[in-house]
Structure 1
Amino acid sequence: MASERPTAETANPMTDSKSGTNARHLDARGLHCPLPLLRTKLTLASMVAGEQLEVLASDAGAWGDIPAYLALSDHSLISREETASGDYRFLIAVQSEEIPS
């Protein structure tokens, strides 16, 4: 029986190993399109300018979906990479606070 990857229901704070900054972490592994993007958007909406979000996803659609969304938003993609385990890691800088509707 293959083991399933854990998924997170909420973002958790963690230290980003690449930049050494305190970043929130969203584990969207095991979720299928469009859930990694939707969870990323919801988490970003709860963050303030200056924070960073690290997203881990296993769905290949996230590789294009997350950067495409960020290109249309005020947020910035700091980096993206495919990890040794075949997951996708995105580091996002929150540039502006979301304005409530």
Structure 2
Amino acid sequence: MSAKGRNPTDSLDLRGLKCPLPALRTEKALAVASATVDLVVLADDPLAPLDIANVCRKGGHALIAVEPIETGGWALRIRTGSTDR
């Protein structure tokens, strides 16, 4: 459950997928996501942070956090529809 004043969060586990699949699947998920949802993407492809940042920029979303995860890879938090397109 989300805290008061925060967006609900969806997650997408893309660990094990290689470029360009993490970016393509993130783009597809963002295309159908509600404008009030944060999306957390788990990815371990070395290019995922850069590629997903580009997907966000082109789609009018904001990549608000990139955090390393203990098992390797990153948790990328995206705020949907938060920038002008």
TM, length-normalised to structure 1: 0.70
The 4+ residue runs of structure 1 with deviation greater than 4 A are none
CA contact (8 A) 2:7 2:36 kept: no
Gap runs ≥5 in structure 1 = 1-14, 97-101
Identity %: 38
Gap runs ≥5 in structure 2 = none
Q: 78, 82, 87: which is aligned to 2:68?
A: 82
CA distance in 2, matches of 1:21, 1:49: 9
Structure-2 residue corresponding to 1:12: none
CA distance in 1, matches of 2:18, 2:70: 20
CA distance in 2, matches of 1:52, 1:21: 6
Q: Which one has a larger percent helix, Structure 1 or Structure 2?
A: 2
Structure-1 residue corresponding to 2:56: 70
TM, length-normalised to structure 2: 0.81
* Alignment RMSD: 1.8
